[in-house]
Structure 1
Amino acid sequence: NDLMIFQRSHGGANVATLVERKTRYVALYRNEDRRSRRVLGRLAGLLGPLPAPARRSVTFDRGLEFLAWRELTKATKIDVWFCDPQAPHQKGAVENANGRIRRWLPSETPVADLAEDALAKLCARLNGTPRKCLDYATPAKAFAAEMKRVSEEPEPCRNQG
């Protein structure tokens, strides 16, 4: 997970990028500001409907917008990991996705004026583009197959202590 920040002259709105590591499936959502509880609350709402095996962990950088990570863990039972300081390469899939997204959402984009359906169309475009790393399957197709596979798996045992 990462936040794409835009020019301050357009306000504090930003776009959160979530990339499923195995299938490269991308989800985007807009935030009005960088307040941690709001950003992570939206993330919890996005991840909540997924089958438990499909939402085992999420990795953040060291940004202040992720300070409320304990609340995310409590609400969703998702393990949270953090990259080492100054090591964005440790979450390369999301950094790569941000580079692709910047083609359509450069830093001067007034994100506050961006309609939610515009973000949905951008997600559809990204998830509908065949990827070499997926043997030229699309992220959407790979994600659907993975969701089918994990929904048939038994729930993993977790140490409660």
Structure 2
Amino acid sequence: MFTKHNPHLITLRERKSRYLVAIKSNSRTPQKTAYTLVKYMKKNWSNIVHSLTLDNDIAFAHHVTIADAFAAPVYFCEPYKSYQKGAIENGNRLLRRYLPKKSSIEKHTQKDIEMIVSKLNNQPMRCLEYRTPKEVFYEYKERLNPQGEIRT
């Protein structure tokens, strides 16, 4: 969760490629969060999700709905141990360059947010041997068959 207020961003990061996704949501209720997450990911990442690691946030109380939608296990970080989710914390820090803490997300559309995330996904990263998250993610995505298994 990017902010505790409404509207807020649900941020996701693919573990291997560091590919970042930010989804604008107008409600922090567990039902709305699960619906928004499943709808977005089914449309864009349906065969890629193998597991999810979530915050211990009340917004993720319907994690079973999310897990069932992808037939994937859901894991939780231990409370107050943000180092267990360093990649997403880093992604949120990078987003803060464009969306400072006190600024309202309300004035930004999902398209605006996608443009910001696109800039971040097109920046080379040392941990990816100076390739971009987008390059690595789409190479990985191309190697998957429709069932989500890697082709050799």
TM-score by length of 1: 0.85
Correspondences of 1:27-106 after superposition (within 5 Å): 27-49=21-43, 50-52=45-47, 54-106=48-100
* Runs of 4+ with >4 A deviation: 152-156
Q: CA deviation at 1:47?
A: 2.0
From 2, 13, 21, the equivalent of 1:4 is: 2
Would you say the 8 A contact 2:2–2:8 is kept in 1?
A: yes
Aligned partner of residue 27 in structure 1, secondary structure: strand
Check if 1:22 corresponds to 2:16: yes
What letter corresponds to residue 15 of structure 1 in structure 2? L
1:152–1:76 CA distance, 2 compared to 1 (3 A): closer
Unaligned runs of 5+ in 2: none
Q: Which runs of 5+ in 1 are unaligned?
A: 157-161
Task: Say yes or no: does 1:148 pair with 2:147.
Answer: no
Q: Which has the larger radius of gyration?
A: 1
1:24: Cα distance to partner? Answer: 0.4
Question: Structure 1 vs Structure 2: percent identity of aligned residues?
Answer: 27
In structure 2, C-alpha distance between the alignment counterparts of 1:153 and 1:38, rounded to whole Å: 27
Letter in 2 for 1:82: F
Root-mean-square deviation (CA, aligned residues, Å) is 1.9
TM-score computed with the length of structure 2 as normaliser = 0.90
Higher relative contact order (CA 8 A, sep 6+): 1
1:95 alignment partner AA: E
